[in-house]
Amino acid sequence: MAYSIRSFTHPYGPVVAVTGDADVGAAPALEAALQAASDAGHNRIIVDLSGATLLDSRTIGVLAGWTARLTGRGGGLPIVCPDPNILGLLRRIGLERSFELFGSREEAVLRD
Using 50, 70 and 90 to split pLDDT, how confident is the model at 97? confident
Mean pLDDT of 63-87: 95
> Using CA atoms, how far apart are residues 32 and 54, in angstroms rounded to an integer?
19
Q: How far apart are CA 45 and CA 40, in angstroms?
A: 11
How many alpha carbons fall within 13 Å on the CB side of residue 1? 12
Confidence band for 96, pLDDT divided at 50, 70 and 90: confident
CA distance 27 to 66: 12
Q: pLDDT for 13-61, tens place per residue? A: 899 999 999 988 899 999 999 999 999 999 999 999 999 999 999 999 9
Domains, in order of start, for the chain: 3-107 (3.30.750.24)
Q: pLDDT at residue 112 above 70?
A: no
Give residues with Cβ within 8 angstroms of 101, minimum separation 6. Answer: 79, 81, 87, 90
